[in-house]
Structure formats: C-alpha cells, structure tokens
Amino acid sequence: MPRPTPVDTPVDTPVDTRVGEPVGTPVGEPASGALAWRIFACFAAGYFMSYGLRSVNAVLAPDLVGELALTNAQLGALTSAYFFAFAGMQLPLGVWLDRFGPRRVDAVLMAVAGLGCVVFAVSTSFGALWFGRALVGVGVSAGLMASLTAFRQWFAPQRQTQLAAWMLMVGTMGVLTTTVPVHWVLPVLGWRGVFWVAAAMLVAVAVLMWTVLPRDRERKSVTPTPSFLASMAGYREVFRHGYFWRMAATGAVVQGGFIAMQSLWVGPWFNKVLGMSADQGADRLFVFNLVLLASFLALGWVAPRVDAGRQALVRIVAIGTAALIALEIAIALAQGTGAWRLWLLYAAVATHYTLVQPRVGMVFPSHLAGRALTAFNLVIFVGVFLSQWGFGVVIDAFRTHGQSEVAAFRSAMLVLAGMHAASLALFVLWPRRWASPGAAPRP
C-alpha cells in the first residue's frame, strides 16, 4: 500500500487499492443521453421531496404554534426531529447503499417517508407529531446519499461536484414549493392536507424509482461482505481519516447552522424580528430560496472549472465561512425594511460548502463510497439537529433572562456567529499531520 502523500502535494486522483482503479471511477462506462437523464431525474424527484419536507415547517410554523401552543424550544424540537432521525439513519444507510445499491434502498425508504407524512397528518399531540416527523426523516435519509452513490457508479469523476450542485438546485426547488405555493393552498387544505398530498407524492416517487431506474450495475457495485456488522466495521477506515474530519467538523457547525436557519428559523426571523406578516414572510422566503436555487445552478456550471485540489478547496471553505460569519453578525444587528436582503447574500455564500461532500466521497475507494458519504452526512446532520434545536433553546434562555423576543433572536444569531468563528479557527489551525487524504489522525 503506498505511503500517504504529503499534505502540500496535490492529490486529485487517489487510487482504490482494493480494485486498482482511480477513486471516483464509475463501475462501467459512464452513463450518457437518455439513460443519464433518467438516472438523474429519478433521484432528483426523491431529493425534491426530501428537501421540501425538510423546510416545510418554516411556512407551517404559525399554524403549528397556533394549534398546539408550542414554545420556541418545542417548535425547534419538533422540526429537528427530522434531522435527529435523519442523522441516526446514516451509518446503517451507508452499509445498505454499498450492499444493496441506491435504487432499492431509496425506493423503500421513500415509502417509509410517505407513512411518516400520514402519521403527521392524523396526529393530535406533540409526541405523535414528533414521531411522524422523525419517521419522515428516516424515510428521506437516503435522498442525497443514494443519489451521490449512484452518480459515483454511473458518472465520471469530473461530473461529481456538478451533479451534486444540480441535485441541491432541485432540492431548493422543493423548498420553493413549500413557500408561496404551500402558503396559497393552506386555507384550502390546512397543514394536515399538505402532508396527505406529500404522502401520495412520496409513494409515487418510490414506485418510479423501483421500476424505472436501471438494475444492471447493482450486482457489480454491491460489496460481498458476510454480515451487516462486518460492513459496519468499514466505518473504522472512514472515521480514522484526517481529511474527513477536517471537512466534516467544520461542516457540522457551519453548514449545519445554515441548514438549520434555512429549514426553520429564517421564517420566524422574518415574522418576529422584522415584523412581516405571514404573506410577506412567505414571499420573502420564496425569494430567499430562489436565490439559493440560482446559486446552486451557477455552482453546477462553475464546479467543473474550479481547481479541485486539496489546498484550493481549503481556501474556498475558509473564505466562504468567514463571509458567512460576517453576514450573520450583520443580520443580527440590521434593522429596517431592507434588512431581509442580507439573507439573500447569506443564501448565495452558503452554497460554497457544496463543493466539499463529493470531494470527500472521492477520497475513499469505491467499496467505501456509500459509507464515506453517509458518515459525512451523519456528522453534518447531527450539527443541523443541534443547531436547529439549540437556536430555539438559546432564544428561550435569553427571554427568561429578560430580553424581548426580538432581542433574544438577535442574541441567538450572535451566539451562532461565535460558534462558526470558533469552527473556522479550528479549520485553519487544523494539525498538518492530520490533514492529508489517506492519513489517519494521530494522537
């Protein structure tokens, strides 16, 4: 086995020592034409639903709070149940993706998400709603990871970041659907009706995946391990990887914090801090996510042209994170009718982290691709869960100590910026002996 490459030497094509192929190489000939579009479209439909359901509570929050009299901490806990379950699924999900293939895993789990929407729609208590929301999180947990695993099997390495950016663009379309369109239908369907419609759509996506996606590479890509526990042992290699932890630790705090804002707290910020009506807030959320969509689209075009070397990626992450911190401080302090526009810059800058996840997946050999991607996702979504729930807890804590609701929101945003600054410092000062792909961290 070759010695790890020194940290300052670019490594753009690490080798899969198990099969003797460059890491990131597809299982067979890269997909093209109608087949490529069919693969992308099926997985994109699932991720559209996943991302939409992730963010729908940002619009439904006033109705949920009004009907159930939820506190800010309860609202954060209810919404973050999705992320709690989502994160808990990532380790077994990586094994299933490597053993059974992304088509079967994602199709079955989409049906589970449909069941979760049904449970949420019929629930009348906080506990039952939490369970339904968690079941949705279980069901959509493969939305992006199954897609990236399939792209790893079917597409060339230079297409990976582009396809990831386009998937996130499609996911943002799901978020757009949960803003103004959902707000329009709420008077007719109610929030329960919205989840009944989502359940039907999820079942349709599951059937589409099972019947339309190609099956001929599943046997080639499935790892012939003797047991589930033996497959879980493969995570040891992933979690001992220094490059993995440098990227994932920062992602958990920074990307996790942004997703927590996008999927819940930006809506209440518009309503409670900036004093917008429900209609105004839904309109601004639509624009916010439209900017996010356009940014992902642009990133999909730019990504193949960006130097994918390690040091270039490190600089992009550091500069992007510093810009996010500056915007969070500005958002916390800004007042007046135009303050919401800072959130548009926030959405545009936050897309820089999309370049990281596919790159982390390609550092590992093909037989660990699913586990590497889901391990990274696990760390990210633990960060999302803690950020989304913790933001509500911090707001309530500041209110308990006498701050107004508006001041408490602003203080919580400054706390978030402080956490992101600490994460950036760790990223920049990360020990050099841990930073090389292929090198496990040492004591």
Is residue 20 one of the residues assigned to a domain?
Answer: no
Is residue 2 one of the residues assigned to a domain?
Answer: no
Is residue 266 one of the residues assigned to a domain?
Answer: yes
**How high is the pLDDT of residue 4?**
35
CB distance 390 to 261 below 8 Å: no
Mean pLDDT by 10 residues, the chain (443 residues): 34 35 52 81 92 80 76 75 83 84 92 95 86 93 87 78 83 79 84 91 94 73 57 81 87 90 87 88 86 83 62 84 96 91 94 79 74 85 86 93 95 96 91 51 35
Question: DSSP character for 3?
Answer: P
**How high is the pLDDT of residue 28?**
56
Helix (H) or strand (E) holding 412: helix 405-428
Long-range CB pairs of 6-12 (<8 Å, 24+ gap) are 6/436, 7/310, 7/432, 7/433, 7/435, 7/436, 8/311, 10/309, 10/310, 10/311, 11/309, 11/310, 11/437, 11/438, 12/308, 12/309
**How high is the pLDDT of residue 403?**
95
CB distance 117 to 136 below 8 Å: yes
Alpha carbon distances (Å) from 397 to 265, 393, 411, 442: 16, 6, 10, 39
**How high is the pLDDT of residue 442?**
36
Other CB atoms within 10 Å distance of the CB of residue 183 = 18
Cα-only R_g, the chain:
21
Is residue 308 one of the residues assigned to a domain?
Answer: yes
Residue 288 and residue 134: Cα distance in Å, rounded? 26
Is residue 132 one of the residues assigned to a domain?
Answer: yes
Render 78-123 in DSSP notation, one character per residue: HHHHHHHHHHHHHHHHHHHHHHH-HHHHHHHHHHHHHHHHHHHHH-
Burial class (CB in 10 A: 0-12, 13-18, 19+), 335: exposed
Total length of the chain: 443
Tokens coding 89:
């699924």
Closest CA to 58 of 237, 236, 307, 271: 271
Is residue 200 one of the residues assigned to a domain?
Answer: yes
Is residue 27 one of the residues assigned to a domain?
Answer: no
**How high is the pLDDT of residue 352?**
82
Closest CA to 99 of 406, 374, 333: 374
Tokens coding 371:
């586990």
Instruction: State pLDDT tens for residues 56-89.
Output: 877 787 787 777 777 777 777 777 788 788 878 8
> Residue 107's domain is classified under what CATH number?
1.20.1250.20
**How high is the pLDDT of residue 439?**
43
Burial class (CB in 10 A: 0-12, 13-18, 19+), 372: buried
Tell me the residue range of the domain where 61 lies: 33-434
pTM for this predicted structure? 0.70
**How high is the pLDDT of residue 309?**
56
Is residue 222 one of the residues assigned to a domain?
Answer: yes
- In the chain, the number of structural domains is 1
Instruction: State pLDDT tens for residues 352-368.
Output: 887 787 777 777 776 77
